[in-house]
């Protein structure tokens, strides 16, 4: 199997796993859904440590990932080179953003926004809310799979720590910081979170500052940075329009 084929198979495995897991948990209420998602992550995290799977997962030592030949026209060493890897990651991020933006503007996007806001009303409007939730779950898992594959190609190594609960919660914290009201929110949140981790990580205070940041964001800007900026812009526009009136 070539490296490219292996990547595609990995991607498909994630998609199938997401579809099966999603089919089981997409019916649950938001809190149960979140808990089950994290629990499923923990299940995988502990599975890779099983002695019987050590040959495939590397167990607690992790897995060195190397390949011969080319992937996307690049050798294994090229992926470790920031100057070569950056355009690939940047392009992937833009494609993912474009997909999300397109979905958001589509009928499916309108249905997903409405389900997020008031699922009961959607059911009382004749919609089956299970299918859109499942589609969204699989779609977002596929995007996460792309980022995971890029991470592996870049690092050349998979640590069991990358499957830990803290990595999952980091993504939630980043989304909370940026705000989930728009597609840009989680991206902005991710940038802020990564920057903050680099800064505070050096002082060995990552968890402390993460906790403080979560509390501060929930209290001060519950709609996140992007949501807060949008609200402020809307208020400014309103007050300007209000002043112009006689």
Partner 1 sequence: MLKTEKLSVSYGPLQALSELDLEIDGDGVLHGVIGPNGAGKSTLLDAVCGRRRPTAGTVRYRGQDITRRSVAWRRRHGMARSFQRTSIFQDLTVYEQLRLVAQHLGDRRLDDVIQVMDLADYLDEKAGRIAYGVQRRVDVALALIGRPHLLLMDEPGAGLSAVETLRLFQHLRDLVRERKIAAVAVEHDVDAVFACCDKVTVLDLGRHLATGTPAEIRADRRVVAAYLGSAA
Interacting residues toward partner 1 by CB under 8 A:
107, 110-111, 113-114, 117-118, 120-121, 123-128, 181
User: Of 3 and 221, which CB lies nearer to partner 1 in the complex structure?
Assistant: 221
Q: How far is the CB of 245 from partner 1 (least distance, A)?
A: 17
Q: What is the nearest approach in angstroms of partner 1 to the Cβ of residue 126?
A: 4
Judged by beta carbon, residue 54 or residue 104, the one nearer partner 1 is: 104
* In the complex, least distance from residue 190 CB atom to partner 1, rounded to whole angstroms: 23
Of the pair 19, 181, the CB lying nearest partner 1 is at 181
d(CA 195, CA 178): 13
**Nearest approach, Cβ of 117 to partner 1 (angstroms)?**
5
Cβ proximity to partner 1: between 111 and 188 the closer is 111
Residue placing its CB nearer to partner 1 in the complex, 58 or 224: 224
Q: Provide the minimum distance between the beta carbon of 162 and partner 1 in the complex, in angstroms, as a whole number.
A: 35
């Amino acid at each position: 199997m070539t490296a490219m084929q292996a990547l595609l198979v990995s991607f498909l495995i994630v998609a199938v796993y997401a579809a099966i897991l999603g089919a089981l948990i997409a019916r649950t209420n938001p809190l149960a859904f979140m808990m089950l998602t994290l629990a499923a992550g923990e299940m995988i995290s502990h599975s890779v440590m099983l002695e019987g799977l050590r040959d495939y997962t590397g167990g607690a030592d992790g897995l060195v990932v190397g390949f011969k030949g080319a992937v996307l026209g690049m050798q294994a060493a090229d992926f470790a080179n920031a100057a070569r890897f950056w355009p690939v990651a940047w392009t992937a991020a833009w494609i993912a953003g474009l997909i999300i933006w397109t979905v958001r503007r589509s009928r499916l996007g309108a249905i997903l926004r409405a389900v997020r806001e008031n699922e009961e009303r959607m059911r009382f409007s004749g919609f089956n809310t299970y299918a859109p939730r499942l589609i969204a779950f699989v779609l977002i898992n596929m995007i996460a799979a792309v980022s995971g594959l890029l991470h592996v190609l870049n690092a050349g190594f998979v640590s069991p720590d990358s499957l830990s609960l803290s990595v999952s919660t980091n993504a939630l914290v980043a989304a909370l910081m940026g705000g989930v009201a728009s597609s840009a929110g989680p991206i902005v949140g991710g940038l802020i979170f990564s920057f903050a981790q680099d800064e505070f990580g050096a002082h060995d205070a990552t968890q402390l500052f993460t906790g403080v940041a979560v509390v501060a964001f929930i209290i001060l800007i519950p709609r996140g940075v992007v949501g807060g900026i949008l609200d402020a812009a809307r208020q400014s526009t309103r007050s300007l329009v209000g002043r112009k009136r006689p």
